[in-house]
């Protein structure tokens, strides 16, 4: 086993947008897990709900960067990481909370195996359901097809149909996965710097998949750790601007496919994949018009 890693090695970055109601809980959870205020950076994407003022009042020692406009998630996080030290980068959403022992479990995973480049915790929603984004396969043509047409919901116990969210594997099993979620992901800083951080071609969504793709491309692994529990009040900020977030979500799906599956024989499937993504977007726009609370992603 390598040398133990402690909280002092971590630099947390939280990107906020209209997050005054929840970012305080995210910061408090980092402090409870052993981070000092100076190890936490909040990048605010031009919120109009008083988020910066709240942070300056409640957490004056936390590093705060206020953007003049909404730069998107990837650009904001990259700016937050720039200028910090530490051996590890912790991405944490403002509506996510580290539960007791979560950071220690993730640190142990990285110390145990130097081939692990990142750790994704078990992320649960407020109702106790697993957030399926915390352990995913890359959306290859077949995986994307089963996901887009809803077959993954019909056969969650099937390794083939449930491949995207690995629903055929018990949620309490620690495993290597293709990707975790940007809601909470712990990444080795040297690897982060080598990759160049998050791909700023993604305004919102998809940048976590892209980062994990690049981690694998460099021969490192992404590890899912169920002992590390994170509570995610998913979509609180995005629900306030559901229409553009829906568009960004599906645009990112299409961008990832074109970047990584747009060559060779898979290129012939691109029109069908594009139509499927467009159809899914259209359906969700209609359904959101009927819902009291709009949704961006499942």
Task: Please report, for the domain that includes residue 194, its CATH number.
Answer: 3.90.550.10
Q: Are 275 and 186 found together in one domain?
A: no
Burial class of residue 291, CB neighbours in 10 A (0-12, 13-18, 19+): exposed
Q: Are 225 and 286 found together in one domain?
A: no
Supply the pLDDT for residue 195: 98
Q: Are 249 and 123 found together in one domain?
A: no
Q: Are 245 and 212 found together in one domain?
A: no
Q: Are 205 and 64 found together in one domain?
A: yes
155 domain residue, yes or no = no
Predicted confidence pLDDT, tens digits, the chain (298 residues) = 467 899 999 999 999 999 999 999 999 999 999 999 999 999 999 999 999 999 999 999 999 999 999 999 999 999 999 999 999 999 999 999 999 999 999 999 999 999 999 999 999 999 999 999 999 999 888 887 787 777 777 778 888 888 889 999 999 999 999 999 999 999 999 999 999 999 999 999 999 999 999 999 999 999 999 999 999 997 555 555 677 888 888 889 889 988 998 888 777 777 877 887 887 778 777 876 666 555 555 5
90 domain residue, yes or no = yes
Of the residues 212, 236, 260, the one at which a domain ends? 236
Q: Is the pTM of this model over 0.85?
A: yes
Q: Are 208 and 128 found together in one domain?
A: yes
Q: Are 253 and 109 found together in one domain?
A: no
180 domain residue, yes or no = yes
Of the residues 236, 267, 282, the one at which a domain ends? 236
Supply the pLDDT for residue 2: 61
- What is the spatial distance between Cα 50 and Cα 248, in angstroms, rounded to a whole number? 25
298 domain residue, yes or no = no
161 domain residue, yes or no = no
Q: Are 209 and 79 found together in one domain?
A: yes
- Residue 226 belongs to what domain range? 7-135+171-236
User: What's the token pair of residue 84?
Assistant: 């910090």
User: What's the token pair of residue 241?
Assistant: 């601007």
Supply the pLDDT for residue 297: 57
Supply the pLDDT for residue 192: 98
45 domain residue, yes or no = yes
274 domain residue, yes or no = yes
Supply the pLDDT for residue 156: 80
The total number of structural domains in the chain stands at 2
Supply the pLDDT for residue 13: 98
Burial class of residue 155, CB neighbours in 10 A (0-12, 13-18, 19+): middle
Q: Are 112 and 232 found together in one domain?
A: yes
Supply the pLDDT for residue 243: 76
First to last CA, the chain: 38
Q: Are 283 and 216 found together in one domain?
A: no
Supply the pLDDT for residue 34: 98
Of the residues 193, 215, 236, the one at which a domain ends? 236
158 domain residue, yes or no = no
User: What's the token pair of residue 184?
Assistant: 């909470």
Q: Are 198 and 249 found together in one domain?
A: no
Tokens 């290129």 — which residue? 267
Q: Are 182 and 274 found together in one domain?
A: no
């Amino acid at each position: 086993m390598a040398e133990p890693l402690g909280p002092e090695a971590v630099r947390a970055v939280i990107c906020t947008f209209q997050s005054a109601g929840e970012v305080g809980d995210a910061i408090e959870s980092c402090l409870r897990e052993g981070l000092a205020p100076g190890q936490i950076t909040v990048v605010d994407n031009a919120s109009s709900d008083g988020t910066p003022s709240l942070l300056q009042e409640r957490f004056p020692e936390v590093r705060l960067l206020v953007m003049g406009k909404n730069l998107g998630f990837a650009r904001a996080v990259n700016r937050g990481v720039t200028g910090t030290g530490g051996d590890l980068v912790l991405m944490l959403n403002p509506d996510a909370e580290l539960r007791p022992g979560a950071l220690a479990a993730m640190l142990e995973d990285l110390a145990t195996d130097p081939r692990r480049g990142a750790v994704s915790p078990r992320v649960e929603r407020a109702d106790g359901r697993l957030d399926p984004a915390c352990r995913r396969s890359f959306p290859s043509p077949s995986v994307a097809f089963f996901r887009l047409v809803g077959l993954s919901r019909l056969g969650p116990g099937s390794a083939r149909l449930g491949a995207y969210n690995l629903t055929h594997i018990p949620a309490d099993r620690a495993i290597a996965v293709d990707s975790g979620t940007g809601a909470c992901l712990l990444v080795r800083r040297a690897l982060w710097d080598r990759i160049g951080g998050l791909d700023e071609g993604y305004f919102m969504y998809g940048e976590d998949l892209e980062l994990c793709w690049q981690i694998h491309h460099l021969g490192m692994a992404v590890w899912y750790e169920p002992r590390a529990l994170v509570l995610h009040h998913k979509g609180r900020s995005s629900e306030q601007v559901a229409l553009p977030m829906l568009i960004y979500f599906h645009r990112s799906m299409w961008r990832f496919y074109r970047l990584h599956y747009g060559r060779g024989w898979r290129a012939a499937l691109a029109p069908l994949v594009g139509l499927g993504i467009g159809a899914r977007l259209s359906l969700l726009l209609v359904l959101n018009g009927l819902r009291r609370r709009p949704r961006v992603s499942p």
